Amino acid sequence: MTGILNFRILATAAVLPRRVVTTAEVAALCGLDPQVAMQRTGVRERRWLSGDENALTLGAQAGQAALAAASLAPSDVDLLLNASGSQLQPIPDGAPLLARALGLRGSAAYSMHATCLSFLVALQHAALLIHAGQARYVLIISSEAGSIGLSWAQPESALLIGDGAAAVLVGPADHPYQGLEAARFETYPEGADHTRIRGGGSLLPPGHPQATAEVFTFDMQGRRVLRLASLVVPGFLERLRPGLSQGLPGIDRVVPHQASLAGLELMRRFGWPEDRVEVTLPTLGNVIAASLPLTLHQALRQQQEGTLLLVGTGAGFSVGGLIVRL
């Protein structure tokens, strides 16, 4: 991508489930020592859905809050993008369900699905449309219910995943230097089996002789993911912007996907100062695609101007990054 794509972040919102789940609770389910679990993951607590809560209601609440913060009505939205890794249902996808819950009618609504990178893909898509004059206001919603697909036999992922929703409303830029400066996405399919939920699609549908209960739960081989990330991410960063694998040239704040403690520690090797990297992992865990917008929501409370690096990895194995000037 060359040249800036003009757009502006108008408002963000975060909605979390009521239930706070400590690492000690999850460690007990996995048969692990709580202190060891805490040291390995860096997660103290996370939120899980309970009672009548679900990803649809949380996502709709986040969307409503973002619209209210920008003093806009649902009728002002030209496009609703569902950018979630855990889907509400296969057909129709979650976007029309969110649109109905928000009272949108006649606006476009569809999903951008790239697992944990879904929000970044959606934000780039929104920037392209706004810059081209094909949309004025785009509402992006990431809402996750990862806790329902965890396996206690896989503590590596069970100890990480949290639930929650975030919404980001974007619109026209205030000045010609505001918007998306750079974007890059790369996929290394040799890591496609490192992070997966195999069941539920056409390869392993319900009723398939191999569709046991465990194929419908989250399966992650964290060490293989980290090994592949350590090999490909430095080069990816250099292709996104030269110098990023050794520092933060032109970047005021980093907003990373909260993949894991090991993933965040990998950033220290790039010479990124800890006080310029936004972190939500200890209190939210890894909220799949909602991690990035939830962390962005927190970052924007302090950083109202300057340049942000939004970066992360996702199943596939994919790497993505955006450089956004506020």
Question: What's the pLDDT tens digit per position in 117-149?
Answer: 999 999 999 999 999 999 999 999 999 999 998
Look at residue 271 in the predicted model and tell me its pLDDT.
92
Q: Which of 2-6, 53-57, 79-83 has the lowest mean pLDDT?
A: 2-6
- The three-state DSSP-derived secondary structure of the chain is CCCCEECEEEEEEEECCCEEEEHHHHHHHHCCCHHHHHHHHCCCEEEECCCCCCHHHHHHHHHHHHHHHCCCCHHHCCEEEECCCCCCCCCCCHHHHHHHHHCCCCCEEEECCECECHHHHHHHHHHHHHHCCCCCCEEEEEEECHHHHCCCCCHHHHCCECCEEEEEEEECCCCCCCEEEEEEEEECHHHCCCEECCCCCCCCCCCCCCCCHHHHCCEECHHHHHHHHHHHHHHHHHHHCCCCCCCCCCCCEEEECCCCHHHHHHHHHHCCCHHHECCCHHHHCECHHHHHHHHHHHHCCCCCCCEEEEEEEECCCEEEEEEEEC
- Choice among 138-142, 180-184, 254-258, 314-318 with the minimum mean pLDDT: 314-318
Strands 19-22 and 45-48: antiparallel
Is residue 66 within 8 Å of residue 169, measured between CB atoms?
Answer: yes
């490192």: which residue's tokens?
194
> What is the spatial distance between Cα 224 and Cα 317, in angstroms, rounded to a whole number?
10
User: What is the per-residue pLDDT across 43-60, written as a single tens digit (0 to 9) for each?
Assistant: 999 999 999 999 999 999
pTM to 2 decimals?
Answer: 0.94
Given a cut of 80, whether residue 86 has pLDDT beyond it is yes
Residue with tokens 């750079």: 182
- Range with the lowest mean pLDDT among 16-20, 70-74, 89-93? 89-93
Average pLDDT, the chain: 93
Is 258 within 8 Å of 313 (Cβ atoms)? no
> Is the pLDDT assigned to residue 89 strictly greater than 60?
yes
